[in-house]
């Protein structure tokens, strides 16, 4: 499967987070992305993508 573009990955992450209104951890996001895309994302890349979504106020963070 071809690699998703940045925009597609951001939308995917945003949809995964939105599907869990009580919250979701990074490990669960990784697992869901692997299930949907067929491969596990790089942890550091996922952290950068999440930070971009936070900076753009598309998702919020709570707790640790």
Distance CA 64, CA 62 (A): 7
Distance CA 18, CA 15 (A): 5
Q: Is the pLDDT of residue 1 over 60?
A: no
pLDDT the model gives residue 59 = 95
CA atoms within 13 A on the CB side of 11: 6
The per-residue DSSP string of 16-38 comes to HHHT-TT---HHHHHHHHHHHHS
pLDDT the model gives residue 2 = 58
pLDDT the model gives residue 63 = 82
CB of 10 closer than 8 Å to CB of 53: yes
Residue-wise pLDDT tens digits, 6-63? 999 999 999 999 999 999 999 999 999 999 998 889 999 999 999 999 999 999 998 8
């Amino acid at each position: 499967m071809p690699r998703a573009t940045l925009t597609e990955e951001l939308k995917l992450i945003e949809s995964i987070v939105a599907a869990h209104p009580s919250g979701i951890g990074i490990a669960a996001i990784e697992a869901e992305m692997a299930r949907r895309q067929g491969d596990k994302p790089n942890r550091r890349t996922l952290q950068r993508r999440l930070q971009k979504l936070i900076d753009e106020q598309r998702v919020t963070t709570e707790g640790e």
